[in-house]
Chains A and B, each alone.
Chain A
Amino acid sequence: MKKLLVDYEICHRCPKCVVSCSYFFHPGNNGLTALREEIAYSLICRRCENHPCVQACPNGALKEQEGTVRRSPLLCVSCKSCSLACPFGTILPELLPYLKDRCDLCRESRLEDKQRFVCVNTCPYGALRLVEEEEIKEMKNLQLVNNTLVVKAVDWLALYGVKKL
């Protein structure tokens, strides 16, 4: 089965996500925002001991669940206080929309194949790709977020020119 690969090396520098999404219940939906949020909480978050983000939220919308932070879309008012509070820049302001976006990874076989994964085709920077299981094994810096989502993490060492030991 194919998986969706998000290349965070490209994404994390992107000023504004502009992909289209085939998720249909909420037109104008950009499923990738939801994915990036999920990626942020599961991969980038440092899991601080006293969770400054949780403490900063005026509405108790953030909560630690199973080790990661989760945002309740029903309580969040998109004030972005958590974003300010996070010392590691995990929660980017643009990941906190008031009306939550949704990505179901095109799982529901609701569409013709050519219409699926429009996000992959519409990312102008080529950050998204569909990959086979075999391919994944060969690549470096990969993180599995869930069964269908893989992330190519940022190679910070290479980025800042630090040689690996």
Chain B
Amino acid sequence: MSNHYFQLLRERFPESILEGKVHSPKRVYLTVKKESLVEVAKFVFRVMDARFSTASAVDCLDRIEILYHFSLDSQDVFISLRVVIPRERPAVPSLSGVIKGAAWIEREMHELFGVNFEGHPRLNRLLLPEDWPENVYPLRKDNQDKDIGKG
């Protein structure tokens, strides 16, 4: 099943999809160019009518990966769009214009990973305790101390 969607998206966006991996009949991972993320996500969300489940960021030291997980509930397939961005000044276009529900998770990633979501309506940090220092992102791999951010 996932193969089918893999082919479909590949044909629809030959330029934007850099790489793809069919993990199992139910899971497919596609690496998408940062510039085309919104376009592809819009297609998956609106045209393919997938449900936006969530997004997750992973710190890989030389890069940050962000995965947007879309679920095609009736087909039991997860399509995960992966965007790879540099670790210094990471930034991606925000999906919150297309998917209202994405606003929250983007704020979370902004706070925990320091990713900048361009075009996000309210990306203000707040949440970690008030005295949390700027530019310390707890879920980055270099912050391992349990006392991080304690000043």
Contact = CB atoms under 8 A, between A and B. Distances in A.
Decide if A and B touch, CB cutoff 8 A. Answer: yes
A114 to B, nearest CB: 14
Interface in B130-145: 141-142, 144
Q: Tell me what chain A mostly uses at the interface: helix, strand, loop, or mixed.
A: loop
Contacts of A60: none
Contacts of B142: 27
B128 interface: no
B144 A110 contact: no
Contacts of B60: 24, 110
B141 A27 contact: yes
A25 interface: yes
A110 B141 contact: no
A89 interface: no
Contacts of B62: 110-111
Given A110-B60, A110-B61, A111-B62, A28 B141 contact: no
B61 A24 contact: yes
Given A110-B60, A110-B62, A24 B144 contact: no
Interface residues on B, range: under 10
A143 B136 CA distance: 45
Specify the main secondary structure of chain B where it touches its partner. loop
Interface in A27-64: 27-28
Given A110-B61, A110-B62, A111-B62, A25 B144 contact: no
Interface in B109-144: 141-142, 144
Nearest to A25: B141
Interface string A92-121: 000000000000000000110000000000
Contacts of A25: 141
B61 A28 contact: no
Interface string A70-109: 0000000000000000000000000000000000000000
Interface of A: 24-25, 27-28, 110-111
13 contacts: A24-B60, A24-B61, A24-B141, A25-B141, A27-B141, A27-B142, A27-B144, A28-B144, A110-B60, A110-B61, A110-B62, A111-B61, A111-B62
Given A24-B61, A110-B60, A111-B61, 8 more contacts: A24-B60, A24-B141, A25-B141, A27-B141, A27-B142, A27-B144, A28-B144, A111-B62
